[in-house]
Amino acid sequence: MEKSSTITDQINSGFYNQMVSLPAYTRENGELVILHTGLKDFVLNIMKEYMLSGKEPLRYSYHTVCASERMNVVDCAFSLGTYVVVETGESGQGTLYTEVARNYPYLEAQKRAFDRTAISFFQLQLDGRRVFADSELWC
């Protein structure tokens, strides 16, 4: 699918109850797609901010569900105090569309888990519509 140019878009965060700026693009079908690199930077900056201000730390961790040549499944958990969100990322032979993903299928599953968890944890959406990370798009 064609995409428009990468832009910094204002996306609503239900977690913060405000708009946040993230690098994203809009697909032809109108879906907003956030870039993994921007999402990762967003999370790491928040972690640093919380650490420097003495707030309770935001943490994330991974749990391997399955790792094989055919399929990789990874859970990622984000937590802040008692607020915990866990999402799953998968990669299989049929969903590895880049050379990097084919060479590192476990890392691709981990990246997909991180992105989905970050989107869910920070409750990112646009006008009530779900947003996606570029790692989730398999076409």
Q: State pLDDT tens for residues 19-73.
A: 999 999 888 888 899 999 999 999 999 999 999 999 999 999 999 999 998 999 9
Q: Check residue 2 and give its pLDDT.
A: 46
Taking Cα atoms as reference points, which of 55, 36, 51, 53 lies closest to residue 118?
Answer: 36
CA distance 13 to 125: 7
Question: Half-sphere exposure of residue 51, counting CA atoms within 13 Å on the CB side?
Answer: 8
CB-CB contact of 12 with 19 (8 Å): yes
